[in-house]
Structure 1
């Protein structure tokens, strides 16, 4: 079966910042050609590596972010490499690049030059701060992007957990991944426009702006009340301290509790569960009947009392029992799981989520990696090929796309 984007040709010239955008398109069926310099993308040098042995084809991160792509090596410092680049983008539907603003244009290899030959081309540039403006040429890592975008201001710990603790970065290149998600949304919107008009266009994706649009409550609080939110352990930042969401169970594991009895039907079930084991006797009092009184973050004594009883209840039960019992009563409760616990959970396997990926050093002994993040009924996500070895497909792509022999 064909993927949703089968038939689309994508040229990707990205390092660590923009590579996820190409993966998202490739995993949906697009033919993604990753153009790399002779030494390979910088992403090939990011560990961990297979058996802790570095090498251009052994980065496990590269394996994940570059599935369903083909690798072509071009030296844009040479006339032959520049000519091949322009031929490839002339044959492409989409270009994704994450170089500095003007980097390719200064070589005569940018969007304007490509669009003159290929007016239906969609060109997406992913940069830290966009193509123009006073910060356009500033450098940024994922950490810097999260800091300047505002997300880090909201992540950290309660003062009683870690007094004076600084803002905390969410790990895993969350800023860059956010930018890539927005880039793909922009590309898909541009494709819809091209389907109607035949016109391509330039998509300017700023990671800074993508992150700033996902800071949830911080910006609304400042815009409306000129109030800065405070960081809290394992829960939303807020203008004032709210009841905790993390509680340690009897087996020492942590549970995360998002709300308790937000509607009267589920509250009745929670009451019966607690009271059947000797907790929350006061919950039958009329003051607990109003849902708003039970909601965290509103400063009500009822919410504080519920949190105290919840802590006592969880401390007397195992984490899985709390999790399963809460879910049975339609509560958004969960367990804080370790990586090995997630790998062993049958839910993932029952859904067919994991995929097996081979590469250098693991031939015939694949590693398990996350698979489809969504399901299509008619055009399924598919792992068609593992991440490419450096330059593995140069001759193949030049012949297939351009009719050239190496």
Structure 2
């Protein structure tokens, strides 16, 4: 099967915000040319590093986020290299721009120049706060984006002694991931409806991307005028101190056992499980028959579940709960996720070539049924070494347009 984006040419100018978008397009077959300064993109210095070596070639994040791209080194302070960049853009279908609200304009690629060079171009701009608005020039980071976008405001710890709960920020670079996926979707959609003249500019703000990914706090406020309270290891809720649902297990692991929405069917399944296991409890009492009464007496149910989990393995509990259609799951540490037999059975993990040629495992893609560079068996399946494709790409430009080459 041919790759979905085979024949699509992308020029990537990026300081970090757009590289995941470029990776997704490259994995689907686009020719993504990453333009780097002579010292390399700043993301080449992002740790952690293979073997602890920080030399621009051993950055694990760079190796992952730049899979299957080509690298061209241009000194954009030099008129000749800037002219080469303009030639690259003129031959491209997509300009992927992660240099800031006016980043492309700073290297001579303002709107009018783009319209003249590349009519029909799709210009995808990925920035922290977008190209408009009072915060357009503000700087950001993972923590800043999650805090301003509302995610940090709904996660954290329970209130203690009437003091507000402490917020926390999840780690994982979610803003760049979520925004990167959206930018890739918009880029592909825009390619299907390219303008005959002019340039289609897609303005993707990571702040917007996170703001639309918050869960119940926004809807609870919009429709009920209520603010939610943070709860340790649980969803934020408009009810202070809603029932716990994280329980320590006999193997030292944790089980996330949702005790909200314990309707008649779910409660019957819990009782059947407890009874079949010979577990002593008092949950058949009259005060637990009606759902409203169960809510009022939830601390007793929670205590029983806690005792039940304390006697059993977290993995066993997860699988047994699934057999009973209960929304309970083992809280897996990262090491368990990387060893997850389900992910391995689905060939989720892939291997890319490291700086010394050694295969490095990395997370794969969350879909099946569409060919990628990993399954096609052709082309480069690794991140580019700094500038290794400069001569080849420039030669292709000259061959395609001898006049432009002088």
Instruction: Give TM-score scaled by structure 2 length.
Output: 0.89
1:382 partner SS: helix
SS at match of 1:10: strand
Report the 3-state secondary structure (helix = DSSP H, G, I; strand = E; otherwise coil) of the residue aligned with 1:255: strand
Residue pair 1:101, 1:136 contacting (<8 A) in 2 also: yes
Say if 2:390 is the partner of 1:391: no
* Residues 242 and 401 of structure 1, relative CA distance in 2, 3 Å threshold: farther
Alignment of structure 1 residues 201-240 onto 2, 5 Å = 201-240=200-239
Q: Output the CA distance in 2 between the equivalents of 1:12 and 1:265.
A: 53
Q: CA RMSD of the aligned region, Å?
A: 2.6
Q: Distance in 2 between matches of 1:161 and 1:8?
A: 59
Q: Distance in 2 between matches of 1:324 and 1:26?
A: 38
Q: Superposition pairs for residues 116-127 of structure 1, below 5 Å?
A: 116-127=116-127
- Cα distance change of structure 1 residues 119 and 263 upon mapping to structure 2, 3 Å threshold: farther
Deviations 1:115-145 (A, max 9, x none): 2222211001111111122111111122111
Given the superposition, is the C-alpha separation of residues 263 and 229 from structure 1 closer, same or farther in structure 2, using an over 3 Å criterion? closer
Structure 2 unaligned regions, length at least 5: none
Aligned residues: 396
Corresponding residue of 1:193: 193
Structure 1: gaps of 5 or more residues: 295-299
Match of 2:335 among 315, 331, 340: 340
- Structure 2: distance between partners of 1:162 and 1:318: 35
Provide the C-alpha distance between the structure 2 equivalents of 1:369 and 1:356, rounded to a whole number of angstroms: 6
Say which is worse superposed, 333-342 or 126-135, in terms of deviation: 333-342
Deviations 1:341-393 (A, max 9, x none): 22333222221121122222x42x3221111221125x346274201111111
Worse overlay, 391-400 or 184-193? 184-193
1:266-319 C-alpha deviation (Å, 9 max, x unpaired): 5433221112223444247485354x776xxxxx22544432221121112111
* Offset of residue 164 of structure 1: 6.0
The match for 2:42 is 42
8 Å CA contact 2:165, 2:230 repeated in 1: no
* 1:324 maps to which of 319, 324, 336: 319
Separation in structure 1 between the aligned mates of residue 191 and residue 90 of structure 2, nearest angstrom: 16
CA shift for structure 1 position 72:
0.8
| Alignment match, 2:58 | 58
1:97 alignment partner, SS class: strand
Residues 271 and 280, structure 1, Cα contact 8 Å, conserved in 2: no
Q: Whole-Å Cα distance in 1 between the matches of residues 83 and 398 of structure 2?
A: 12
Q: Residue in 2 aligned with 1:297?
A: none
In 2, distance between residues paired with 1:40 and 1:24?
Answer: 21
1:358 to 353, 363, 368: 353
Q: Which of the residues 359, 362, 369 maps onto 1:369?
A: 362
Q: How much has 1:64 moved relative to structure 2?
A: 0.8
CA 1:223–1:332: 2 relative to 1, 3 Å: same
Paired position in structure 1 for 2:243: 243
Answer yes or no: is the 8 Å Cα contact 1:72–1:390 preserved in 2.
Answer: yes
